[in-house]
Structure 1
């Protein structure tokens, strides 16, 4: 999620199609707001949580 040209939120998706599906849902629910959603493939520094799930610690934009 991008607000004012700054990345505010990022999520891990297994496939590009899954990302596009979630993007469409998010765009429908945020009508009229100045929020931009993008699906990108990038490198990231990951962190493993206590429950075994992964979160993005840092995006590596090249």
Structure 2
């Protein structure tokens, strides 16, 4: 299913390695600040608002399967 979402993206050497679904932009920015406290030169984080294809997990939660860039 495709929905409008807010996601916290982790980039390693300029490539997206992980995308985490967030409840709001405020929660995403908070998570970004906490993640950036562990400094690594090759890892960056960005909050992203847009459409994504979601999948259901075994525990009933949802996760980002694919970002849709328009």
TM-score, normalising length: structure 1: 0.89
Structure 2 gaps of 5+ residues are 1-9
Q: Of Structure 1 and Structure 2, which has the larger fraction of its residues in helix?
A: 1
1:50 positional shift: 2.3
Question: What residue is the counterpart of 2:17 in the other structure?
Answer: 8
1:51 aligned counterpart, secondary structure = coil
Number of residue pairs aligned between Structure 1 and Structure 2: 61
Match in the other structure for 1:33: 41
Q: What is the TM-score normalised by the length of structure 2?
A: 0.79
1:50 is aligned to 2:50:
no
Greater RCO (Cα-Cα under 8 Å, separation 6 or more): 2
After TM superposition, what 4+ stretches of structure 1 lie above 4 angstroms from structure 2? none
Task: Determine which of 18, 37, 51 is the counterpart of 2:27.
Answer: 18
What is the CA–CA distance in structure 2 between the aligned matches of 1:43 and 1:21, rounded to whole Å? 21
